[in-house]
Structure 1
Amino acid sequence: MNAVASAKSVLRSRVKRILGRAGFDIVRSTRVQGGVDDFLPFEATMRAAKAAGLSIGDHIDEVMNGTPGATRFTIDELRGLGVYAAEPETVLEIGPGSGRYLEKTLKECSPGRYEIYETAAPWADYLVSTFGVVARPTSGSSLAPTPDGSVDLVQAHKVFNTVTFLCAVRYFYEMARVTRPGGRIVFDVMTETCLDPDTVHAWATKGGSGHDSYPAAMPRRMCVDLFETLGCTLEAGFPAPMGVASTEVLVFRKNA
């Protein structure tokens, strides 16, 4: 290692220690849009949840997002739609982060295999060790390691409102590819149904500073039309809480 590289290494270590004392963590990310992994610094989030006497998922809902019960609400709605009654044998989740939806999904059904695509390595490692899921290598927009038509339930929660349009669309193509005929695709997006003038005003004035792609809007009609061309039919849609407003959860079935 040359002198410059050595100096940079020492500097990074010092910065990491200083941030650690303040409750932050540095996470290596492969996301191209930037900033998303910073929402959930692993060590700081774990410490804060423990200090509050809450599960990680409840801490994120109640404290970080200010929407108590948001995760449970979505899971309850999906149960009512019969998503878990289909008893999916294989589940794939994009961007599970802390695992708040993953954990509740596993309580609703018992898949033999649960794959995750998570770019934040500390969270991916935690989910593998805690829940026995399979972490797939990810570039941040592809599900390439998963074979065609091999998954019963593909889901992503609170992901596509944080990424760029093209990143989300590339994932849409991949989600349709890996889903078996008769399987379901579940994800939420911030459609026009979530963006009335009062809500837009709330985001502009109360929703925080945001970052490069958050919060990201997505045309509902485009989603429905695109998935139709990919052999998927919209079964249902419902609003789910997010921050100062909501997103829309869409449930598609892959045609036989």
Structure 2
Amino acid sequence: MRAVGRGTSLFKSGVKGLLGRAGFDIVRSTNNLGGVDDFLPFEATMRAARAAGKSVGDYIDEVMNGTPGATQFTIDELGALGVFAAEPDRVLEIGPGSGRYLEKTLTECSPERYEVYETAASWADYLVDTFGVVARPTAGSSLAPTPDGSIDLVQAHKVFNTVTFLCACRYFFEMARVTRPGGRIVFDVMTEACLDPAAVRAWATQGGAGHDSYPAAMPRRTCVDLFATFGCSLEASFLAPMGVAFTEVLVFAKAA
């Protein structure tokens, strides 16, 4: 998971400033595989959240990103759509990072098993120790350790707007593979609905330099058509806050 931000450059400098004023230094993790530790260092973030008297998730939303309630907004929308009412017994999350979506998901349902694929070892260890999830070996865009058709709910939040087009597509193939018939797939992408002229101008002028593909655009029709070939239909979608604009959350159902 990538935290919502004003582009990676501004995000990094803002985080460093906030933590610096709190007396903490950002140190690059030696366990990082190019993931969330690049801009959300584990130790510094945990200490800063404790100093602020906030949960890690609320600290990221309110202090680091300046978007209070952004995570809860997405969870509430998914709840209203009945995603959690289906009582998923097995959940898989790609790129949970700090666990802010994971934690709120667990307040809505009680899965017997919750698998995570997280590249930052320090955050993965924290999620295992704090929430009792199962951390799977992570290698790029593969979910190979998870068997076919074994997951009720597959989700990824603030991930696919930070990776390349082909990386996202490879994950899409894997998400469809591991989802059981009748299960759901939830993720957000930066579609045309998120990129009107005002949003593009905001990203270009206020969002910082970015990095590699971030913020990455993904055609909505590409997602819908590709998942249709997997036997997955689009049930619903909605816009959720991300940085200076929005990202679109898509909810797919796999045919029973």
TM-score (norm 1): 0.89
Deviations 1:179-234 (A, max 9, x none): 00000000000001000000000001111221112111100000000000011000
- Cα displacement (A) at 1:28: 2.4
Which residue in the other structure is 2:27 paired with?
24
Q: Is the 1:175–1:185 Cα contact (8 Å) retained in structure 2?
A: yes
- Cα displacement (A) at 1:53: 1.2
C-alpha distance in 2 between matches for 1:154 and 1:219: 20
Deviations 1:31-72 (A, max 9, x none): xxx465312110111111111111100111111111110000
Q: How many residues align?
A: 235
C-alpha distance in 1 between matches for 2:36 and 2:46: 17
Are 1:95 and 2:95 an aligned pair? yes
SS at match of 1:92: strand
Q: Is the 2:24–2:44 Cα contact (8 Å) retained in structure 1?
A: no
C-alpha distance in 2 between matches for 1:21 and 1:93: 30
Q: Is the 1:203–1:244 Cα contact (8 Å) retained in structure 2?
A: yes
Q: Which runs of 5+ in 2 are unaligned?
A: 1-19
C-alpha distance in 1 between matches for 2:125 and 2:163: 22
C-alpha distance in 1 between matches for 2:222 and 2:32: 29
Aligned positions of 1:216-227 closer than 5 A: 216-227=216-227
SS at match of 2:218: coil
Which residue in the other structure is 1:125 paired with?
125
Which residue in the other structure is 2:58 paired with?
58
C-alpha distance in 1 between matches for 2:219 and 2:121: 31
Q: Which runs of 5+ in 1 are unaligned?
A: 1-18
Which residue in the other structure is 1:47 paired with?
47
- Cα displacement (A) at 1:25: 3.6
* Aligned CA distance change for structure 1 residues 35 and 157 (closer, same or farther; 3 Å): closer
Which residue in the other structure is 2:75 paired with?
75
SS at match of 2:238: strand
Q: Is the 1:237–1:248 Cα contact (8 Å) retained in structure 2?
A: yes
Q: Is the 1:234–1:250 Cα contact (8 Å) retained in structure 2?
A: yes
Deviations 1:135-173 (A, max 9, x none): 000102000000000000000000001111111000000
C-alpha distance in 2 between matches for 1:218 and 1:119: 22
Structure with higher RCO (Cα < 8 A, 6+ apart): 2
Letter of the structure 2 residue corresponding to residue 82 of structure 1:
G
Are 1:115 and 2:115 an aligned pair? yes
C-alpha distance in 2 between matches for 1:45 and 1:25: 12
Larger of the two Rg values belongs to structure: 1
Letter of the structure 2 residue corresponding to residue 24 of structure 1:
V
Which residue in the other structure is 2:243 paired with?
243
* Aligned CA distance change for structure 1 residues 103 and 29 (closer, same or farther; 3 Å): same
C-alpha distance in 2 between matches for 1:221 and 1:116: 28
Question: RMSD over aligned Cα, in angstroms?
Answer: 1.5
SS at match of 1:101: helix
C-alpha distance in 2 between matches for 1:230 and 1:35: 28
Which residue in the other structure is 2:11 paired with?
none
Letter of the structure 1 residue corresponding to residue 76 of structure 2:
D
Which residue in the other structure is 1:180 paired with?
180
TM-score (norm 2): 0.89
C-alpha distance in 1 between matches for 2:55 and 2:36: 21
C-alpha distance in 1 between matches for 2:172 and 2:122: 26
